[in-house]
Amino acid sequence: MEVVMAARITYLLQFCGVSDPLQLFYLEQRSVEVPGPVFTGLRPFQLDSLMAWALDSARGRGWDLERIQATVVDVWLERAEAIRQWQLRLQQEPADRLLVAGLGTQHDWEQRCEAMLRA
């Protein structure tokens, strides 16, 4: 009897910085052209909106919803101080600025970095 263990895919959630909506639009457009992570802009920067976006993105990509949910919660808890700093910074930014977040597999992030190096 042969036991085959499925590889567990790791999802990476990154907070990229603060941006205006037009720059976020360009980033999202490049993401459509080049395979890689998905991006969003958040304001306010709260767990419920981050989770809703992550799960919606996961459904669209056919990702494991439970793993995505666990990733978001783990990152939120592990980076609590950094998240608090992002929230404070966002409050000081003009009202149209958004916190940009990206989510993808390790492979997605690798593809994104390789595409940037080729550009």
What does the pLDDT look like over 27-73, one tens digit per residue?
Answer: 888 777 767 899 999 999 999 999 999 999 999 999 999 999 999 99
Residue from 50, 68, 73 nearest 58 by CA: 68
Instruction: List the domain boundaries for the chain.
Output: 15-109
What are 72's two structure tokens? 């978001």
Pairs from 78-87 (Cβ < 8 Å, separation ≥ 24): 79/15, 82/15, 83/15, 83/45, 86/15, 86/18, 86/45, 87/44, 87/45
What does the pLDDT look like over 91-109, one tens digit per residue?
Answer: 999 999 999 999 999 988 8
* DSSP at 99: E
Report d(CA 70, CA 89) in Å as an integer.
26
